[in-house]
Amino acid sequence: MMSRNTTVVSLLGLCCLLTAATASAQPRWGRERQPQTGACFYEDANFRGRYFCVREGERIPSLPAGLGDKVSSLRLLGSAEITVFRDANMRGRSGRFVSDVRDLKREGWGDQISSVEVDAPRDYSGFGGDNRGRARGNRDRGGWRDRLPVWGRGEGAPREGACFYEDKDFRGQYFCAPRGATYTALPRGFNDRISSIRVFGGADVRVFQNQNFSGRSTEIRSDAPNLRGDWRDNVSSIRVF
């Protein structure tokens, strides 16, 4: 029969092991082995410099000192997606990504991430107009870049995302995309034909005048009933985050 002292010692040992495991689970800058499914966060743009990784299903309520607000690019592995937060404990402004981001500064997230959550892909079926469900891309994380938008009127708006309208005041044909969707180049029939944008669930939209997220860009954080001036009918690539 195990003595009381032996039981106490065993419990203390178990607590020490759990504490050590928790400490080792804390991310830190390095060049660790990357998980099969999850996300890696880089100190510099274009996936350069030191990095740390988080497995799918894990959440970091507060990035440790030396990591918080110092992430410049991120790479997704396997089927994982990620939600990033400006403040600790999953609070403040948030953004969701389903594909690699070479420069978070261009997305309005440069050195501004304080907590993260990496999880399995959401069901995006029905968004984008073709009702084929969600299509993930190849090794370079095409994701929603591989899906072509379809003008329509019957699809439901995403809880978090945006809808893009052919006419001002949210009229005419439109297509929708969830948070995390990207279009490197709008196909013929869509390029330079967006006149108004409706935003849902706190998502942000960044539109670019040229393909591949180049040229002038602007961020849209609320409904834009009329893209006047340089932006009306002058959008060639899109990010929703």
Give per-residue pLDDT as tens, 125-172.
555 443 333 333 323 333 444 456 778 876 667 888 899 999 999 999
Q: Would you state the pLDDT for residue 137?
A: 31
Nearest-angstrom CA–CA distance, 185 and 118: 27
Whether pLDDT at 237 is above 80:
yes
Through-space distance between the first and last CA atoms of the chain, rounded to whole angstroms: 60
Mean pLDDT value of segment 33-58: 92
CATH code for 31-119? 2.60.20.10
| Among the listed residues 71, 64, 238, 68, the one whose alpha carbon sits nearest the alpha carbon of residue 162 | 238
pLDDT above 70 covers a percentage of the chain that reads 77
Nearest-angstrom CA–CA distance, 74 and 41: 5
Nearest-angstrom CA–CA distance, 11 and 17: 10
Mean pLDDT value of segment 164-187: 86
Nearest-angstrom CA–CA distance, 115 and 17: 25
CATH code for 143-240? 2.60.20.10
Report the mean per-residue pLDDT for the chain: 77
Copy the structure tokens of residue 181. 């969707």
Tell me phi and psi for residue 5, to 5 degrees.
-65, -40
Q: Would you state the pLDDT for residue 169?
A: 94
Whether pLDDT at 192 is above 50:
yes
Q: Would you state the pLDDT for residue 138?
A: 29
Q: Would you state the pLDDT for residue 4?
A: 52
Mean pLDDT value of segment 199-216: 86
Nearest-angstrom CA–CA distance, 92 and 164: 26
Q: Which amino acid is at 220?
A: I
Q: Would you state the pLDDT for residue 231?
A: 84
pTM of the entire predicted model: 0.56
Indicate the DSSP class of residue 140. T
- Range(s) of the chain covered by CATH 2.60.20.10: 31-119, 143-240
Provide Rg for the chain, Cα atoms.
Answer: 21
Give the residue with greater pLDDT, 208 vs 154: 208
The CA distances from residue 66 to 56, 62, 89, 129, in Å, are: 23, 11, 17, 43
Q: Would you state the pLDDT for residue 148?
A: 66
Element (H, E) at 21: helix 4-25
Mean pLDDT value of segment 41-47: 92
